[in-house]
């Protein structure tokens, strides 16, 4: 097991400290492409990063009126508030079910890939450079708790470039214990609300260092972890130990995993519209056949999604695809938005509308995901 790495959240930005700025060039070292979101996520071609570049990146996110319409990758609920994260360190939040958005104060400019809240105040966001941010006020202001420690270690300027290890997802058991997962098999754990993060990658049997793309809770069962090359893992004790599932129904990359409101049910999805459902926490699998309105098999890559408190499961992907289930993932309706804009994640709101995040930022849509309100 690697040595623990401690961070004490030294960087904090307050909302009133943001200064307007003009459009400027930004060193956007992203493995994601704005124009080809799904392909970039699939390739995960993380580039080398110089120490000088890494040091320069510790700058607050630039205030922008377009922050809610720029590339966003994930969203979460913080009580009645909605919070979305994405490119350039942008985090936006809404207190009127997505009707209007405000930009949060964020101390970094890296791409943020996922966000998770344990209650209406405390939440975490993760992203590139193994960044972990925390908020204690429902997403209005954020502090940095952790980033890749190798970025702060002097290296030989003539030596190899530093390999970037973006974090792709985050999940918390409660306000103290949580996990962040990502590229090259990295697993970070905290048991004190993020004051300290420990690299516990060795608890998962992943000798090839396959990337982890998604982690989620499965009701009545535990945690489920999925990534590239069909890799799947489960934890019946919510992250203390992990079991490798060797009989994967698919050997391509998984981009999303979700439980449902039914015990032991888990769904995974990924490339070319592949989706599978298990009713026994991964012991056996059935393929979920997704048919378009023309009765063709869906071939678009599925990226992100979530299950609502009332049980609706919404999954989105490349080409503006929106698939929705009302029966714990047994069947789905499939819609394709006319704009064909790549979507990264979705949440079903209490008013029945769907919150969509992706290539063109955040928007709300009708229950079928088609008409933007």
Confidence of residue 158 (pLDDT cuts 50, 70, 90): low
- pLDDT at residue 20 greater than cutoff 90: no
User: Which range among 25-34, 177-186, 220-229 shows the weakest confidence by mean pLDDT?
Assistant: 25-34
Confidence of residue 368 (pLDDT cuts 50, 70, 90): confident
pLDDT reported for residue 30: 36
pLDDT reported for residue 12: 32
- pLDDT at residue 18 greater than cutoff 60: no
Q: What is the pLDDT of residues 282-301, one digit of tens each?
A: 999 999 999 998 899 999 99
pLDDT reported for residue 249: 94
Mean pLDDT calculated for residue range 314-336:
96
DSSP conformation letters of 262-299: STT-EEEEEGGG-EEEESSTTSS-EE---B-TTSPBP-
Residues 239, 174: Cα–Cα separation, whole Å = 12
- pLDDT at residue 180 greater than cutoff 90: yes
The total of other beta-carbon atoms located within 10 Å of residue 334's CB is: 21
Pair of tokens at residue 210: 């396959």
Pair of tokens at residue 77: 């609920």
Confidence of residue 165 (pLDDT cuts 50, 70, 90): confident
pLDDT reported for residue 43: 35
Residues 167, 165: Cα–Cα separation, whole Å = 7
Are 232 and 269 in contact by the 8 Å Cβ rule? The answer is no
Are 94 and 79 in contact by the 8 Å Cβ rule? The answer is no
Q: What is the CA radius of gyration of the chain?
A: 19
**CA dihedral of 142, 137, 93, 175, whole degrees rounded to 10:** 80
Please report the sign of the dihedral spanned by the C-alpha atoms of residue 64, residue 70, residue 74, residue 80: positive
Confidence of residue 150 (pLDDT cuts 50, 70, 90): confident
- pLDDT at residue 369 greater than cutoff 90: no
Residues 61, 352: Cα–Cα separation, whole Å = 32
Mean pLDDT calculated for residue range 304-322:
95
- pLDDT at residue 341 greater than cutoff 70: yes
pLDDT reported for residue 362: 96
- pLDDT at residue 38 greater than cutoff 70: no
DSSP state of 89: G
Q: What is the pLDDT of residues 22-32, one digit of tens each?
A: 333 322 323 33
Which residue has better confidence, 366 or 95?
95
Confidence of residue 135 (pLDDT cuts 50, 70, 90): very high
Residues 83, 141: Cα–Cα separation, whole Å = 11
| Contact partners, residue 121, CB within 8 Å, separation at least 6 | 78, 79, 135, 136, 137, 138
User: Which range among 18-22, 60-64, 220-224, 318-322 shows the weakest confidence by mean pLDDT?
Assistant: 18-22
Residues 55, 30: Cα–Cα separation, whole Å = 16
What's the chain's average pLDDT? 85
pLDDT reported for residue 157: 64
User: Which range among 161-170, 200-209, 221-230, 345-354 shows the weakest confidence by mean pLDDT?
Assistant: 161-170
For the chain, helix (H) and strand (E) counts, in that order, are 2, 31
pTM of the predicted protein model: 0.84
SS3 236: coil
pLDDT reported for residue 163: 60
């Amino acid at each position: 097991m690697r040595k623990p790495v401690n961070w004490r959240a030294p960087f904090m930005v307050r909302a009133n400290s943001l200064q307007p700025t003009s459009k400027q060039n930004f060193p956007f070292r992203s493995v994601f492409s704005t124009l080809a979101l799904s392909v970039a996520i699939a390739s995960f071609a993380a580039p080398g990063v110089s120490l000088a570049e890494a040091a320069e990146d510790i700058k607050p996110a630039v205030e922008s009126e377009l922050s809610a319409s720029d590339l966003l990758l994930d969203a979460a609920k913080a009580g009645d508030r909605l919070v979305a994260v994405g490119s350039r360190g942008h985090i936006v939040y809404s207190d009127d079910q997505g009707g209007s958005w405000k930009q949060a104060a964020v101390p970094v400019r890296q791409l943020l890939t996922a966000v998770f809240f344990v209650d209406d105040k405390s939440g975490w966001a993760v992203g590139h450079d193994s960044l972990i941010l925390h908020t204690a006020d429902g997403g209005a202001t954020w502090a940095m708790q952790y980033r890749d420690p190798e970025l702060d270690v002097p290296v030989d300027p003539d030596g190899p470039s530093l390999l970037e290890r973006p974090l792709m997802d985050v999940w918390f058991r409660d306000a103290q214990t949580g996990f962040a997962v990502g590229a090259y098999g990295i697993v970070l754990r905290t048991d004190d609300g993020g004051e300290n993060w420990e690299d516990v990658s060795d608890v998962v049997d992943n000798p090839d260092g396959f990337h982890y793309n998604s982690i989620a809770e499965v009701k009545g069962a535990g945690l489920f972890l999925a990534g590239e090359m069909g890799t799947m893992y489960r934890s019946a004790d919510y992250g203390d130990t992990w079991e490798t599932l060797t009989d994967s129904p698919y050997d391509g990359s998984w981009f999303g995993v979700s439980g449902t409101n039914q015990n032991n049910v888990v769904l995974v999805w990924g490339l070319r519209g592949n989706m599978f459902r298990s009713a026994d926490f991964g012991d056996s699998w059935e393929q979920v056949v997704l048919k378009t309105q023309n009765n063709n098999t869906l071939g678009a890559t599925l990226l992100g999604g979530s299950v609502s408190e009332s049980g609706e499961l919404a999954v989105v992907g490349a080409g503006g695809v929106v698939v929705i289930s009302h029966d714990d993932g047994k069947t789905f309706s499939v819609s394709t938005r006319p704009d064909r804009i790549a979507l990264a994640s979705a949440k079903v709101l209490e008013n029945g509308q769907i919150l969509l995040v992706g290539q063109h930022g955040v928007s709300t849509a009708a229950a079928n995901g088609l008409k933007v309100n």
